Each structure stands twice: as structure tokens, then as C-alpha cells.
Amino acid sequence: MKDPDISVVICVYTEDRWEDILAAVASVRAQSLPARETLLVVDHNETLLDRLGREYKEAAEDGSVRVLANAGPRGLSAGRNTGIAASHGEIIAFLDDDAVAERDWLKHFASGYEDPRVMAVGGRTMPVWASGRRPAWFPEEFDWVVGCTYKGLPPGRVRVRNVLGGNASFRRTAFEAAGGFATGIGRDGDKRPLGGEETELCIRLTRARPDAVLLIDDRAVIHHRVPAPREHFAYFRTRTYAEGLSKALVARSVGSDRGLESERRYTTRVLPAGVVRGLRDALLARPGGAGRAGAIVAGVFSAAGGYVLGSVRARRGGAGFSIVEIPDGTGEAA
């Protein structure tokens, strides 16, 4: 079977990540299965747009790297939608701007689409800690806080409810069936670290296409940089609270049965086991055991508080989001 054409979309917003952006693009250009194109979507930052346009001027001429301005409102979801609309591949893959992909990343994505029912394939995201090592108190069960694969997800190539947006791919027909990423849920630059937009999209997709299969293949690996401020408990608390707010919006869109289906298993099975392991390590005088157990409990309460407040706001009409069809067009290089 012929490998599908894959377009890679990398959404960027700040010059502070300049070296990270260059490394992300380089990792895509070094893939064993070449991408059809890499699209850099710049989120309302003219200086960065111009600088990247100059950096990839030669690559733009042969179409291998294209630099685009976000055509929608500020934020990650609209940036992704811009990239989808401008891309040409049968498959659209997404890579975080502060991550690098292993050489066979796209090869493993492509193999998942041999089954025509597969509409999305995600991968495994490994943290690269700024300090050089995981903080002793930071539980692996909460690695999603720093955008990485967390303890509790099954290994191998498995069917899942949703993929994780920083390391994911979709068939183009998935967006034709379900529309694009919802704006008003996900990230907006350096504002509160919301999330959940890929969860909402995936649930919406399986509603539109009940036969759709969504996979995670843990061989499709990327390495995601975790900056020093995100190694601290203050960020952990902020991010878990924001996730609760996000989940309230997701539940509003798709209903709490589907919107919280995986979260119920996570909170009733994965997290209690993590607390037990932490307390056991504490009793055995292993570093960080008590801290990990305490962080899990604190994370649950923080997320629950965000969810309650988000639900109240949603009922009062104080929080909103919109789902848009992917516009036609191919975008323009900077």
C-alpha cells in the first residue's frame, strides 16, 4: 500500500521559542518518511512571521516549508484550523513548537492508516525536563500537565477516545465530517493554560462517524521540552485548575457521559493506585513518595474546583466556544 501524503502543522506564537521552532522543523525534515510539507502557522505576531519567512525563504520556494499567518482569532485552535485549510496532504499531523520528533514518527503514523476506518493516530510524548531530571514530587500520572503522555494510558497501538493534540494526526476527511478545532477551549499564547480542544474534536468526530477508529501508537515518539517554570508546583496547580475549566466546556459541548468517560476511569483507578505507590515509597524512605501522593490529591481537588466553576459559568452563559467548518483555500506563504 502506498504511504499517504502527510502535511505537518506546527503552530507558533513567540520568538522566545526560536531555537525550539527551528529544532521542531528540522526534526520533521529529517523523517524517514518525508512529509509532503511543513506549515508554520504564526499566531498574530508579525515580527515572528517576517523572521520565519526570511529563515525559510528557500524552503518556501520548493514548498517544503510554508510560513502562514493565523487567519482566525488568536489561539491554538484557530492556528490549527488555518494549517488544515492551507495543507495539501491526505493526513494532517500536528507537532508542538517546543518538541522534536523521532526519525520514524511519521512512518508510524502512516502505518495506522492502512485501516480505512482509522480517522486519527496519536503518539507518545516524552518530557525533557529543563533541570535534567523529573522533579521528585512530580507524579507520572500527571505528565499531561506538561503536555506529555501520562502513566495510565495503555501501551502499544491501542484504540482510544481521543488523541493528544501536540502529537497527533488526522485524516483530512475527519475534518470534513466533524469540522475543525473549537475556538474558545484551547490555548491562547501565554494566557491561562487551558486545553481539551482535541478531546472535544475527537468526540465530535466519533459522533459524526460512528465507525471511526482513533488510535495511539506509542512508537510515534516526540520529545517535548518542559521549561523550568513548569517544574514548580505553582504551575502544576494552575494547569490542573485550568483543565477542570476546560473539561466543563467539553462536557457542555458533547455531554458529560462522553466528555468525562475516560476521566472517570482515570480518577477512580489510575490516581488511587498512584497515591498508594507514593505512600509506599514514603514508607520505604524513597525520595519524593509523599510529595507525589500529595500532588495527586492536590491535582484532583484543583481540577474538580475548576470543573465546578466552569460548569457554573457555562450554565450562566459566561463561557463559550465555537465550532467552525474548515475554510476552503490553500493559504499564502509569508
CA–CA separation, 165 and 117 (whole Å): 20
CA–CA separation, 286 and 149 (whole Å): 24
Write the single-letter amino acid at 199: T
Q: What is the pLDDT of residue 2?
A: 79
Helices (H), 8-115: 18-29, 46-55, 57-62, 76-86, 105-112
Instruction: Judge whether 93 and 169 are in contact, CB under 8 Å.
Output: yes
CA–CA separation, 193 and 265 (whole Å): 24
CA–CA separation, 260 and 199 (whole Å): 10
Burial (CB count within 10 angstroms: exposed 0-12, middle 13-18, buried 19+), residue 293: buried
Does residue 184 come out as left (phi exceeding 0), alpha (psi in the -120 to 50 range) or beta? Answer: left
Write the single-letter amino acid at 297: V
Instruction: Judge whether 68 and 44 are in contact, CB under 8 Å.
Output: no
**Measuring CA to CA, how many Å separate 140 from each of 171, 274, 298?**
30, 9, 14
Instruction: Judge whether 322 and 184 are in contact, CB under 8 Å.
Output: yes
pTM above 0.85, yes or no: yes
Q: Spell out the residues 6+ positions from residue 320 whose beta carbon is closer than 8 angstroms to its own.
A: 184
pLDDT tens series, the chain, 334 aa: 578 899 999 999 999 999 999 999 999 999 999 999 999 999 999 999 999 999 999 999 999 999 999 999 999 999 999 999 999 999 999 999 999 999 999 999 999 999 999 999 999 999 999 999 999 999 999 999 999 999 998 899 999 999 988 999 999 999 999 999 988 665 555 555 566 789 889 999 999 999 999 999 999 999 999 999 999 999 999 999 999 988 887 877 666 565 467 788 899 999 999 999 999 999 999 999 999 999 999 999 999 999 998 888 777 765 555 666 775 544 444 4
Strands 157-159 and 65-69: unpaired
